[in-house]
Amino acid sequence: MRSKVVLGRLLRNRQARYGGIALILLIALAYIGPYLGAYDWTDKDFLAFLSPPDADHWWGTTSIGQDMYAVTLRGMQKSIVIGLLVALFATGLAALVGAFAGYFGGWVDKVLMWGVDLLLVLPSFLIIAIISPRLRGASWLWFVVLLAAFAWMITSRVVRSMTLSLREREYVQAALYMGIPRWKIILRHIVPNLSSLLIIDATLNVSGAVIGEAALSFFGFGIQPPDVSLGTLIAEGARNATGYPWLFAFPAGLLVLLVLAINLIGDGLRDALDPGSNT
């Protein structure tokens, strides 16, 4: 019932509607677009190096003859997948750590929150930058884990403080007196009641992760070649952006559109799920 109300509110919200339409179009472009183009992202056209956009190569070609359209869409697929996975991991971790710390209190709370403080102080950029180039050859999923590992702390603090008040509610007390194990109470009664916060947070984490991935890849600390992402493409294009603007404009434009669409949805979700909230 509530989900119907929320969905209705979301659809009535103009920002969220535009953001949603834009996101659907972008995802369709990333996953259906490659079938429409004439080239695969691994193809190299040795007759067209650095050619500007034309009827054959819609978005031009790179310095080694790759079709920019195919490569950019491939990069966008990777960016979207990374964003979604990081958001899932980060929000999940934030919910678990925050809820356990808040529910158990005492030394569990102290230890977990110290860990959170420490991770907040550690320069995440530095740590990911040191570790990730050394994962060359390993799966890019490790990169997702690294990004997620530094994206959950602030949310887990919010979750903790909300759990502190949920802990005293009647239904939680009732579950406790019925002899349900505490971890089950956390998973069944506390985390679901934080769902609006978590949904909003996960949405905003997606855009944060997309930006984070692109930023690290910009210095070569992210996705490693031959694989591509929007970040590596922008880094590549930025070097000759004045001479060959199509190498830069398409990946950069898509990145901004993607992040903007997700942020609009996130903001709309916040209005729909949590009408009283302010930030």
Shortest distance in whole angstroms from residue 158 CB to other proteins: 12
**Greatest CA separation found in the chain?**
75
Residue 172 or 261 with smaller CB distance to other proteins: 261
Question: Which residue bears the tokens 């944060």?
Answer: 208
Shortest distance in whole angstroms from residue 126 CB to other proteins: 5
Residue 124 or 175 with smaller CB distance to other proteins: 124
Across 218-239, b (16+ Cβ under 10 Å) vs e yields beebbbbeeebbbbbbbbbbee
Residue 166 or 209 with smaller CB distance to other proteins: 209
Residue 34 or 268 with smaller CB distance to other proteins: 268
Residue 67 or 236 with smaller CB distance to other proteins: 236
Shortest distance in whole angstroms from residue 29 CB to other proteins: 17
Shortest distance in whole angstroms from residue 133 CB to other proteins: 8
Shortest distance in whole angstroms from residue 185 CB to other proteins: 31
Q: Rounded distance, CA 4 to CA 188, Å?
A: 22
Residue 31 or 219 with smaller CB distance to other proteins: 219
Shortest distance in whole angstroms from residue 173 CB to other proteins: 29
Q: Where are the beta strands (DSSP E) in 57-189?
A: none
Strand partners, 67: 61
Strand partners, 61: 67
Residue 82, exposed/middle/buried by CB under 10 A (0-12, 13-18, 19+)? Answer: buried
List Cβ neighbours of 132 (8 Å cut-off, separation of 6 or more).
142, 143, 146, 216, 221, 222, 224
Shortest distance in whole angstroms from residue 117 CB to other proteins: 6
Which residues lie near other proteins (CB under 8 A)?
Answer: 117-118, 120-123, 125-127, 129-131, 134, 154, 207, 211, 214-215, 218-219, 221, 234, 238, 241-242, 248, 252, 255-257, 259-260, 263-264, 267, 278-279
Residue 28 or 118 with smaller CB distance to other proteins: 118
Q: How many CB atoms lie within 10 A of CB 180?
A: 14
What is the phi-psi region of residue 106: left when phi exceeds 0, alpha when psi lies from -120 to 50, beta otherwise?
Answer: left
Residue 186 or 264 with smaller CB distance to other proteins: 264
Distances (CA, A) of 137 to 69, 81, 223: 26, 19, 11
Shortest distance in whole angstroms from residue 274 CB to other proteins: 12
Q: Rounded distance, CA 273 to CA 260, Å?
A: 20
